[in-house]
Amino acid sequence: MNVTPAPPLLSAPATPSPAPAPSPSAASPEIALDRAVLAGCAHFPVQIRHGDGSWAELTRVAAALGAEEFPLVTERGVPRAHIARVLRHLGACAPTRLLWTTGGGVPEGTRVAPGAVVVALGGTRVIEAATDFAGRGGGRSRLVLMPTTSRAMADTALSLVGADGRPRTAPVLVRAQLEFLRTLPAAEVRGGLAPLIRNVLAVRPGSYESVASRLRPSGRYAPEILASFLALCAECRATAVCYDPLEQGPARALSYGRTVADALRAEAGGALPAGDAAALGMLVAARVAVEAGLLDPAAERAHRDLIARWGAPPRLPGPFPADRVVERVLAGAEGGAMVLLDDLGRPHMGRDGMLTAVGRPLLRTGLAAVAPAAPSAGRAEVARVGKAHASAAAP
């Protein structure tokens, strides 16, 4: 992810945003939830905030960091109002520098001062870029993550493992400012809550009823509900990674459904939304576990019920090459091994730990559970007759 110095914010060319940022003066509930993640030797607070008072607090938090400079790493898709607001509060405490991400990697010529606190403002791509950039400080630069997407708030910002599987710099603070989500389409907010669904199914089934009763297929949530969802995600992450910061042992539960989801996304060329792919990956894993004699069918139904309440489709949107997806899974980093469940919240443990080898027949059976529904005979006949009439009427 290239990071390039940006021109002054007001002189930069206008870039379309999904929606205008809400007015800071708009009436809104004050929310302040504090959690923390202890992952091995790393420990960082997670602040979930909403409301005008929380922005005044941001200035105090920034001042307490004692930074010599705040390089703000972001991307052009982030609404300018968000960028300007964060810069204003950081700039009250120390000089700021705005850096745009472009793509590729962090250029060698872009340096970070040892006393700087790098701030990431954006989604997963920005977090990856800012983390890499902060690492250029030789361990003397600190990192603050301000995710702007529900996926980053619920998952990416809480992990010490990068997209490439390598360890990454731990932040000194993760701050989820819920106002950022107001500028996203509801469908994107919904899809970004896939980690919540995964956590309920694989880590904390005791929250099943509480979460299920508040899920909305529309993806439109009151800030209080979103805050509670994000707090649960932080708690589940903290539980899983306390003694497994690199997510190679018990914390593999956090990758439930990912093996198949990644293969589906790769085969779809990115056309399948990440949240929908995550849902399908969990449904495939559930069916595989049932067929392997590990999971009770009632637990598979619980998967389908929760995902239906969430609003993700239970089947692929159209025909797909099942055999190619199977081969992608088998050729993946885990060689076809998957996280499977013995019950909700109880991953199966085998000779190779939490990963269970799954062969082609089981994978095909699992994928059949999410294959597009075949049209009924009646509907097919209506379609056939309609086409015949259309052909007869054609000149």
Quick one: average pLDDT of 286-315? 98
- Specify the CATH number of the domain 3-184: 3.40.50.1970
For the chain, domain boundaries: 3-184, 250-368
CA–CA dist 216, 367 (Å, integer)? 26
pLDDT given at position 1? 45
Regarding the domain with residue range 250-368, which homologous superfamily does it belong to in the CATH classification?
Dehydroquinate synthase-like - alpha domain (1.20.1090.10)
Mean pLDDT of the chain: 87
**Tokens coding 191:** 């899809």
pLDDT 10s digits, 89-119? 999 999 999 999 877 555 667 888 889 999 9
pLDDT given at position 333? 83
Domain 3-184 matches domain 250-368 at the CATH topology level = no
Q: How confident is the model at residue 64 (pLDDT cuts 50, 70, 90)?
A: very high
Q: Collapse the DSSP code of 360 into the 3-class scheme (helix H, G, I; strand E, B; otherwise coil) and give the result.
A: helix
> Which amino acid, residue 207?
S
Whether the pLDDT of residue 13 is over 90: the answer is: no
pLDDT 10s digits, 159-176? 999 888 889 889 999 999
Quick one: average pLDDT of 348-372? 93
Q: Which residues of 265-282 are buried (b: 16+ CB within 10 A; e: fewer)?
A: bbbbeeebbbbbbbbbbb
- Helices within the chain (DSSP H only): 52-64, 80-91, 124-134, 150-154, 186-191, 194-202, 208-212, 223-241, 258-268, 274-291, 297-310, 322-330, 360-368, 377-393
The pTM score is 0.87
Q: Which residues of 213-223 are buried (b: 16+ CB within 10 A; e: fewer)?
A: eebeeebebeb
Whether the pLDDT of residue 265 is over 70: the answer is: yes
pLDDT 10s digits, 37-54? 999 999 999 999 999 999
Residue 100 neighbours by CB under 8 Å, 6+ apart: 3, 4, 5, 6, 74, 75, 76
Stronger pLDDT, 356 or 8, i.e. the higher one: 356
Q: How confident is the model at residue 18 (pLDDT cuts 50, 70, 90)?
A: very low
Closest by CA to 236, choosing from 213, 209, 207, is 207
